[in-house]
Structure 1
Amino acid sequence: MFGRKQDPPPTVEAPVVDDPPQPVPSGKGRPTPRRKEAEARNKRPLVPADRRAAAKEARVRARAQRDLEYQAMRNGDERHMPARDRGPVRRFVRDSVDARWNLGEFFLPLAAVFLVLQFVTAQGAPVVAFASLILLYVYILSAMVDAWLMWRGLKKRLVAKFGETALPRGLAMYAVLRAFQVRPSRLPKPMAKHGQHPA
């Protein structure tokens, strides 16, 4: 009672401790799938479940692609043409062939006339039939020589314009077959008129 007065204990401020930083999660956050699971997930059946529906859908897609390519060849849209007709080299070949008069483009009509003439005159006038056959062969040889001369001149211009390495294989056959087609039936449709040679 008469003892020393006890002082209140001194107040000591506790040090403020920041929260420790949270660890940044590393990795992808999920376990790596087992090999069997990954292979099973990537497996797709080779044969669809409904083969008839799949075949019908494939036919519809193929027909739509053919229609798109046909329209592109009719209007000259090279983006949707078949791969064999795309590119500046093929376009140059087509325009060069279409710009000149080719003996080959008259081959089918003249061959039909000569064959009918030979058939009609075979019994009554064999000399006329034989002469028509000879004339047909002479015309075929002339058309082949004309196509060879056309390709020779065209190849020189192609090499001068695009270089030897830019010419794809089969270009000679591409040009010759086009030269032997009747002009209205050519696809892609001719864009160059007779005498309008490409630069």
Structure 2
Amino acid sequence: MGSTPRHPVPLGFVFRSRAKEEKAPSVDKAAVTDSKQPRDPQAPKGRPTPKRSEAQSQRRSVANTPTTRKEGAKRQREERRAQLERQRKALAGGDERYLPARDKGPVRKFARDWVDSRFNVAEFFLPLAVIILVLSVVRVPALQSIALLLWLVVIVLIVLDSLLNGFRLRKQLGERFADQNRRGAVAYALMRSLQMRRLRLPKPQVKRGERP
């Protein structure tokens, strides 16, 4: 009767499974191990940390994405300006990668080189036209008659030379590029022959007399 009361022991403590006690430390260790792994602050929760290259590419894509319409239009203008600058350098240096579509391809390159490698009557049309115009302005009947005759001679020579060059070029294109699209290449070359050599774009890449 005079003994001190004992605290009742909970039944759960007595009948607790030893298997749970063995599993608990491993769970705690796994939680501690996971908590010690560094996580990228930009990685979404619940996902593994991305590689450095992937993270850098994501940052670049986010940084390059325009936030406003004004910024997007500005970026398009800058890209257009850069593209035109690349085309200008390509026209001056002959870089095939950045040439306009009408100048690209081996067929067009051969047509350009074929025209640039020879003298063409049509390329002297502008200086001859200036001389003829000056003669026709002078109020001397003899000089005006000479100017008219020169007009006729120059036009006939240009037509004959263009027909002959077109026939030769079409034949060589058929021999060299039989399995490629040659449409418009002859007209492209004849239009180039009308320009003075120093004004042609893309710039000539062969000297006169060289075989393309």
Which TM-score applies when normalising by structure 1? 0.68
Q: Deviations over 1:30-77 (max 9, x none)?
A: xxxxxxxxxxxxxxxxxx995554444333322221111110111111
Query: In structure 2, the residue corresponding to 1:195 is in which secondary structure?
Result: coil
Contact 2:173 2:182 in 1 (8 A): no
Query: In structure 2, the residue corresponding to 1:147 is in which secondary structure?
Result: helix
Query: In structure 2, the residue corresponding to 1:189 is in which secondary structure?
Result: coil
5 Å-filtered alignment, 1:5-44, equals none
**Is it true that 1:175 corresponds to 2:189 in the alignment?**
yes
Name the residue aligned to 1:81.
Answer: 99
Query: Match for 1:133: what amino acid?
Result: L
Note the C-alpha offset of 1:170.
1.4
5 Å-filtered alignment, 1:70-149, equals 70-119=88-137, 121=138, 124-149=139-164
Q: Deviations over 1:71-90 (max 9, x none)?
A: 01111111111111111111
Query: Match for 2:175: what amino acid?
Result: A
Name the residue aligned to 1:194.
Answer: 208
Number of residues of Structure 1 aligned to a counterpart in Structure 2? 147
Contact 2:169 2:186 in 1 (8 A): no
Query: Match for 2:121: what amino acid?
Result: L
Higher relative contact order (CA 8 A, sep 6+): 1
Q: 1:111 & 1:140 partners in 2: Cα distance?
A: 10
Q: 1:129 & 1:49 partners in 2: Cα distance?
A: 68
Q: Cα distance 1:128–1:193, how it changes in 2: closer, same or farther (>3 A)? A: same
Structure with higher helix content: 2
Q: 1:175 & 1:85 partners in 2: Cα distance?
A: 11
The percent identity for this pair of structures is 44
Name the residue aligned to 1:158.
Answer: 173
Q: Cα distance 1:116–1:49, how it changes in 2: closer, same or farther (>3 A)? A: farther
Note the C-alpha offset of 1:130.
3.1
- The CA RMSD over aligned residues, in Å, is 1.9
Name the residue aligned to 1:59.
Answer: 77
Query: Match for 1:60: what amino acid?
Result: E
- Identify which range, 105-114 or 51-60, moves more after superposition: 51-60
Q: 1:169 & 1:103 partners in 2: Cα distance?
A: 24
Contact 2:116 2:207 in 1 (8 A): yes
Q: Cα distance 1:152–1:53, how it changes in 2: closer, same or farther (>3 A)? A: same
Q: 1:60 & 1:130 partners in 2: Cα distance?
A: 56
Q: Cα distance 1:181–1:99, how it changes in 2: closer, same or farther (>3 A)? A: same
Contact 2:132 2:147 in 1 (8 A): yes
